[in-house]
Homo-oligomer: A and B are copies of this chain.
């Protein structure tokens, strides 16, 4: 039985762990592609090469399954860019946000957050994840900028950061345009210098 031995070598974990890992993985991908509503447990079971009954027994509701999938995926610590200037940091920060929104995990989180009327617990979790994924980096950037006197201490950091995030979401999800270097530069220009004419 060579196959059995091979399996033992490669998995290195108990059957249950491999099962869970595989299911949560597929769940996340399916979720990113189809959204919560269209998400089908039988479909996940098929794709994961697993029996749907086993999924139903482990996770009583779809929301709990998704919740676990999110938690498992949220092991990503966000980085604080440090390019030496506020401008450079913000560009990097914005790029990170854009990448996050376009990643499978990010897509899922954003979709759940934006969904109306869905499971409240799930949305709360998504919101937490979102905040958590974008917490360390931004504030470190702001703090350094104030120390460097590139930003006044009575500035409005949360407004700045949320506006950045919103602009990028609009760009990606509404305009469905690319967030490339040129766009990033223009965006940061706006939030740094403002649109009003200098006098």
Quick check: is A174 within 8 A (CB to CB) of the other chain?
yes
A160-199 interface code vs B (CB 8 A; 1 in, 0 out): 1011011111110111000000000011011111111110
Q: Which B-chain residue is minimally distant from A174 (CB atoms)?
A: B113
B190 and A156 form a contact (CB under 8 A): yes
On chain B, the residues within 8 Å of A33 by CB distance are: 116-117
- Complex CA distance for A187 and B158, rounded to whole angstroms: 11
Given A163-B170, A166-B169, A167-B162, decide whether A35 and B197 contact each other with a Cβ distance below 8 A: no
Contact of A186 among B159, B167, B194 (CB under 8 A): B159
Contact of A165 among B86, B149, B174 (CB under 8 A): B174
On chain B, the residues within 8 Å of A151 by CB distance are: 195-197
A162 and B170 form a contact (CB under 8 A): yes
B191 and A195 form a contact (CB under 8 A): yes
How many identical chains are in the complex? Answer: 2
On chain B, the residues within 8 Å of A187 by CB distance are: 159, 163
Contact of A170 among B169, B186, B189, B191 (CB under 8 A): B169
A194 and B191 form a contact (CB under 8 A): yes
CB distance from A12 to the nearest CB of B (A): 35
On chain B, the residues within 8 Å of A156 by CB distance are: 186, 189-190, 195
Given A156-B186, A163-B187, A190-B163, decide whether A130 and B195 contact each other with a Cβ distance below 8 A: no
A109-127 interface code vs B (CB 8 A; 1 in, 0 out): 0010111110000000001
User: Which 9 A/B pairs are nearest by Cβ-Cβ distance?
Assistant: A166-B170, A194-B194, A166-B166, A37-B37, A166-B167, A163-B167, A193-B194, A192-B196, A152-B197
Ordered by A's residue number, 10 sampled pairs between the chains whose C-beta atoms are within 8 Å are A35-B117, A130-B174, A151-B197, A152-B197, A156-B186, A156-B189, A162-B175, A166-B171, A166-B174, A169-B170
User: Given A35-B117, A194-B194, 10 more contacts at CB 8 Å?
Assistant: A34-B117, A86-B196, A114-B174, A149-B197, A152-B198, A156-B190, A159-B190, A162-B170, A166-B167, A166-B171
